[in-house]
Structure formats: structure tokens, C-alpha cells
Amino acid sequence: MTSLRAIRRPGLRWIVTALLLLGLTGLALSRIGAAGAAGNRDVKALVYVDAFLPAQGETIAQLVGAQPDSCVAGDPTQIFDLVPYPGAPPGAVDAYVKQSVFPSCFANDLPARKAAVLAASQRPASTVILGQPSGPPAWADIPSWALVGTADRVIPPATQLAMAERAHARIVTVKASHLPMVSRPEAVTRLILAAAAA
């Protein structure tokens, strides 16, 4: 999920301040690259929330594989329901996290009922993205902030911290799963506002 956030302050003009990046959209922004984000004068800051911050040439498969304690590393048939989709490149499928895996993997700090709803309503990710190398990172040119969930089992905190430090991001840690926008929305909001005000 990627969105532009704008803040209006009394006596000031509208300013678009932060591009919000959740999970895999960190990779998506790197594909847009520095030229795409930096070329947009409205983007003043990047806010990564439990997200990948890949360097040029890195892939999701490499980043996840580097940390075997990720709950999405391992035999994909045990973690995902793999579903063919029309027009897919050869060998590509949509991957849905198994509903039996989702609560302990993605939503380990949420009530069971909420986690079950999120598991049932999740959007798939195409396996195509796993091996696609990232382009030039926008974080190289735009100030970045990163929220790291210390209970994240999808992108382990050590991996997130290493990527955020490499990107010279301002880092905030919170006790949260991979979904702090659900379990800790106030912390996510504070970080967005801090980035917007900088």
C-alpha cells in the first residue's frame, strides 16, 4: 500500500509531505527509483513501515533468504496457497499466506478474530516479484524514516534495522508485528507526522 499524505496548517499552503510505504511497497518504490520519487517535488520524505528498503540490484528472495528466521522463508507450499492467474508469466502464481499461518506470521500481536479476518481478506502477491532486482533506491535522494516492529516475524527486525541504517533513515522501534498500522496506529501516525514536519 502506498499513499501520499498531505497536511494543512493554518496560514500555510497545502504541502504533500510523505510517501508512505508498507511491506513490499519498499521494493515498489525502489523500482520507481530515485528519478521517479525525487522528480516529484511533492515528495519530501519517505516513511517505511515494516517494509523492505532494498538497494539497487537486491531482490526480495535475497533479503528474505538472508534471514532464515523469517516466517515466510522455507518451503513455499507450507506457507502459501499458490494460485495460477490469467496472463501470468511462465511459472508465476499468486501467493496467499495460508490462513492457518497468517495469524502467527503476520498478525502475532492481534486478537485471533481480527487476525482471521485479515487472513481471509488478504491480497495476494505474485511470485514474479521475488526475483526481480530493485532499481536505484529513492532513499538515496530523499530523507527517510523507518518504523521497525520488534515482533515482526515476516521481515525480522535485524533485517529491517540493517536496511534502515544503510538508508540513513531515522528509525523508530515499536513492539509490534508486521502490521503496526493495525495494532499500533498511533505510533505509525506519529512517525508520519514527524516526517511530514521535518
Q: Is 111 exposed, middle or buried (0-12, 13-18, 19+ CB in 10 A)?
A: exposed
The mean pLDDT of the chain is 83
Q: How far is the C-alpha of 74 from the C-alpha of 65, rounded, in Å? A: 8
Which three-class secondary structure state does DSSP give residue 18?
Answer: strand
* Sign (positive or negative) of CA dihedral 60, 70, 144, 126: positive
Share of the chain above pLDDT 90, in %: 56
Q: What is the pLDDT of residues 144-161, one digit of tens each?
A: 999 999 999 999 999 999
pLDDT digits (tens, 9 = 90+) for 109-142: 999 999 999 999 999 989 988 888 888 888 998 8
Task: Give pLDDT, residue 197.
Answer: 86
Q: Which residue has the higher pLDDT, 176 or 15?
A: 176
CATH 3.40.50.1820 occupies which residues in the chain? 2-65+134-197
Is the Cβ–Cβ distance between 50 and 185 less than 8 Å? Answer: no
Q: Which stretches within the chain are classed as H helix?
A: 25-38, 60-65, 76-79, 102-105, 112-121, 157-166, 180-183, 185-197
pLDDT recorded at residue 30: 53
* pLDDT at residue 46 is higher than 90: no
The stretch 162-188 carries a mean pLDDT of 96
pLDDT value for 176: 97
Q: What pTM does this model have?
A: 0.83
Name the CATH topology of 2-65+134-197.
Rossmann fold (3.40.50)
